[in-house]
């Protein structure tokens, strides 16, 4: 499901944003509403909340709700940000990089596409200051829809009316459609879940991985047009839509499946692969024998899937690894990225975020630095990573 952040600023045309929100909901889009304080003079938060089906965000800081830096998390979770209406004041603050309320902070903190639907007095629109701000915003990538020519609320006539809601909706749908297909033609390998290493017919070595994060990533990539091959250890999760799933049990099986699916454009190694396996698998259940000491278990190292893919002859253009640590998160993660040779690595502290939980918080490591991501749902993290991957391939394209 696409997610749109709808910012409503203070202008008489604010009521038309309700039509936009209503139709987006009918399209199956999740609409997250944000209102400036000035917008409250024209429409009520209650009406916006009812039409969007979500609480209205108005304040930059919410006591009790900033453990994950709420405004940053909100900015990063959107597929696009739509400002309807966009006033001259709001666009001026955007152009000058101001972040003095929730709306401008979100617009400054996002890397999602921004669509502005201006509405104001015609003389305000034609003012050189406004035109300079609009030109600067367009140069930075913002899409401007309107304003239209006609009568405005103050009784004057000229270019200043909010564009027709259907025109705005068409532009939003184009953004969503483009984003949903921005990985089309890309073949991506994702590993997920645990591996299971048998000791005897009854016992095995494994870990607590639920597969939730890997499956969310596979789903997010497939939704954007990628051909996704999900190599999964044993988990109780349904196969995401439009994803080809290959079930495996052991690390060796996962290793062989990964190599068999090369070449790919990208490999996202999310699986929690067992580092070791039993040197010898007993044919029958190991039995207790009176007062004898417990049997000794001899272990051997499993193949390193991430390092192998990072140095393969048919190396994917982009190799992404995950690291689960309990101490010294950044130090261990940096060492792992360098040792494995992957391009990116996402590291999380599993002493805080146990396997199987709905939330995740990671450090995103690349060759150029470390970027801490705020705590978010695993689905939102998957979307954010998909954004990064799409941006990577967009820059790689000739």
Confirm whether residue 322 is marked as ligand binding: yes
> SS in 3 state form for 326-377?
CCCHHHHHHHHHHHHCCCEEEEEECCCCCCCCCEECCEEEECCEEEECCCEE
Single out the residue of 126, 80, 86, 149 nearest to residue 383, CA to CA: 80
CA distances from 16 to 29, 63, 124, 204, 243 (A): 18, 31, 20, 61, 39
The DSSP code sequence of 70-113 is: HHHHHHHT-SEEEEEEE-HHHHHHHHTT--SSHHHHHHHH--S-
CA distances from 323 to 270, 340, 347 (A): 8, 11, 5
Q: Which residues of 166-200 are buried (b: 16+ CB within 10 A; e: fewer)?
A: eebbebbeebbeebeebbeebbbbbbbbbbbbbbb
What's the length of the chain?
Answer: 398
Containing H/E element for 5?
Answer: strand 3-8
Task: Yes or no: say if 324 and 273 are a contact pair by the CB < 8 Å rule.
Answer: no
Single out the residue of 356, 362, 354, 357 nearest to residue 381, CA to CA: 362
Confirm whether residue 122 is marked as ligand binding: no
Single out the residue of 85, 3, 9, 114 nearest to residue 52, CA to CA: 3
**CA 338 – CA 248 distance, rounded (Å):** 28
Confirm whether residue 275 is marked as ligand binding: yes
**CA 260 – CA 253 distance, rounded (Å):** 10
Confirm whether residue 305 is marked as ligand binding: yes
CA distances from 327 to 90, 346, 352 (A): 44, 15, 10
Choice among 154, 258, 269, 342 that is catalytic: 154
Single out the residue of 13, 170, 31, 30 nearest to residue 88, CA to CA: 13
Confirm whether residue 194 is marked as ligand binding: no
Confirm whether residue 392 is marked as ligand binding: no
**CA 167 – CA 19 distance, rounded (Å):** 12
Confirm whether residue 285 is marked as ligand binding: yes
154 carries an active-site annotation:
yes
With 0-12 / 13-18 / 19 or more C-beta atoms within 10 angstroms meaning exposed / middle / buried, residue 284 is exposed
Q: Which two tokens stand for residue 127?
A: 């003012």
Binding residues for CTP: 275, 285, 303-306, 322, 336, 340
Q: What amino acid positions are annotated as catalytic residues? A: 154
């Amino acid at each position: 499901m696409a997610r749109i952040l709808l910012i409503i600023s203070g202008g008489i045309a604010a009521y038309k944003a309700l039509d936009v929100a209503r139709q987006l909901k009918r399209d199956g889009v999740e609409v997250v509403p944000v209102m400036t304080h000035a917008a409250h003079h024209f429409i009520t938060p209650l009406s916006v909340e009812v039409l969007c089906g979500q609480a209205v965000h108005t304040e930059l800081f919410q006591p009790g709700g900033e453990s994950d830096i709420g405004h940053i998390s909100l900015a990063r979770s959107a597929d696009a940000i739509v400002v309807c209406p966009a006033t001259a004041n709001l666009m001026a603050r955007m152009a000058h990089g101001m972040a003095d309320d929730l709306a401008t902070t979100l617009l400054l903190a996002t890397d999602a596409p921004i669509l502005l639907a201006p509405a104001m007095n015609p003389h305000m629109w034609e003012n050189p200051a406004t035109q300079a701000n609009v030109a600067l915003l367009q140069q930075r990538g913002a899409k401007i829809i309107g304003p239209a020519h006609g009568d405005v609320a103050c009784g004057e006539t000229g270019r200043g009316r909010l564009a027709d809601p259907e025109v705005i909706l068409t532009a939003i749908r184009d953004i969503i459609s483009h984003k949903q297909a921005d990985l089309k033609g890309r073949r991506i390998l994702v590993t997920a879940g645990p591996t299971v290493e048998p000791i005897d017919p009854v016992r095995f070595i494994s870990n607590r991985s639920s597969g939730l994060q890997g499956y969310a990533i596979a789903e997010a990539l497939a939704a954007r047009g990628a051909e996704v091959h999900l190599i999964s250890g044993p988990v109780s999760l349904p196969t995401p839509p439009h994803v080809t799933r290959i079930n495996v049990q052991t690390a060796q099986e996962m290793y062989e499946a990964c190599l068999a699916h090369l070449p790919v454009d990208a490999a996202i190694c999310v699986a929690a692969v067992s580092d070791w396996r039993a040197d010898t698998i007993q044919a029958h259940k190991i039995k207790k024998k009176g007062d004898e000491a417990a049997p000794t278990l001899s272990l051997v190292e499993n193949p390193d899937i991430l390092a192998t893919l990072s140095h393969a002859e048919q190396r994917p253009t982009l190799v992404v690894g995950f690291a689960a640590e309990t101490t010294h998160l950044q130090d261990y993660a940096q060492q792992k990225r360098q040792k494995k040779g992957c391009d990116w690595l996402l590291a999380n502290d599993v002493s805080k975020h146990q396997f199987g939980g709905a939330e995740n918080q990671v450090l995103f490591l690349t060759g150029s630095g470390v970027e801490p991501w705020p705590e978010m749902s695993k689905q939102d993290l998957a979307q954010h990573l998909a954004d990064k991957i799409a941006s990577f391939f967009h820059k790689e394209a000739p």
